[in-house]
Amino acid sequence: MNPRLAPEHVDAPAAPGAEQAPMLERCGRLREYWYVACTSAELRDAPLGRVILEEALAVFRDAQGQPVVVRDRCLHRNAMLSEGEVVGGCLKCPYHGWTYDARGNCVRIPSEGQDCALPKERLRRYPAREQDGLVWVWMGADPQAIDKDPFPMPHYDEPGWGAYYMVTHFENSVTNCAENFMDVPHTVFVHKGWFRSTTRKQIRAVVERTRDSVLVTYHQPHDSIGFTGFLLNPSREPMVHTDKFYLPNMTRVDYDFGSKRSFIITSHSCPVGPYETRVYTLISFRLGNRLLNRLGRLLLPPYTRQVIWQDVVIMANQGASLRRYGEDFRNSPCDVIHRYIESLREHEARGGATAPPPQTTEVDFFV
Q: Which residues bind Fe ion (CB under 5 A)?
A: 311
Say if CB 136 and CB 128 are below 8 A apart: yes
The CA-atom distances, in angstroms, between 266 and each of 139, 182, 228, 260, 287 are 21, 11, 18, 19, 17
**Apex 197 CA angle, 193 and 203, nearest 5:** 145
Q: Which option in Fe ion, ligand FES, none does residue 179 bind, with CB closer than 5 to 8 A by kind?
A: none
Binding mask 299-328 for ligand FES (x = CB under 6 A): ------------------------------
User: Does 250 sit near ligand FES (CB under 6 A)?
Assistant: no
Q: Which option in Fe ion, ligand FES, none does residue 138 bind, with CB closer than 5 to 8 A by kind?
A: none
Residue from 21, 26, 46, 77 that binds ligand FES (CB under 6 A)? 77
Helix (H, G, I), strand (E, B) or coil at 31: helix
Our CB check for ligand FES shows the closer of 34 and 98 to be 98
Q: How far apart are CA 336 and CA 277, in angstroms?
A: 23
Residue from 93, 177, 282, 287 that binds ligand FES (CB under 6 A)? 93
Note the maximum CA span of the chain.
Answer: 82
Q: Which option in Fe ion, ligand FES, none does residue 311 bind, with CB closer than 5 to 8 A by kind?
A: Fe ion
Considering CB under 6 A, how many residues would be counted as binding ligand FES? 9
Return the H-helix or E-strand segment holding 39: strand 34-39
Our CB check for ligand FES shows the closer of 46 and 141 to be 46
Say if CB 47 and CB 58 are below 8 A apart: yes
Residue range at the interface with ligand FES (CB under 6 A); choices 93-101, 153-161, 313-321, 332-340: 93-101
User: Does 76 sit near ligand FES (CB under 6 A)?
Assistant: yes
Say if CB 265 and CB 281 are below 8 A apart: yes
Q: Which option in ligand FES, Fe ion, none does residue 32 bind, with CB closer than 5 to 8 A by kind?
A: none
The number of residues in the chain equals 367
Residue range at the interface with ligand FES (CB under 6 A); choices 69-77, 215-223, 249-257, 340-348: 69-77
Return all residues near 226 (Cβ < 8 A) that are at least 6 apart.
191, 194, 195, 196, 303, 307
Tell the smallest beta-carbon distance from residue 306 to Fe ion (Å): 11
Helix (H, G, I), strand (E, B) or coil at 269: strand
Residue from 29, 96, 108, 260 that binds ligand FES (CB under 6 A)? 96
Residues that bind ligand FES (CB under 6 A): 74, 76-77, 79, 93, 95-98
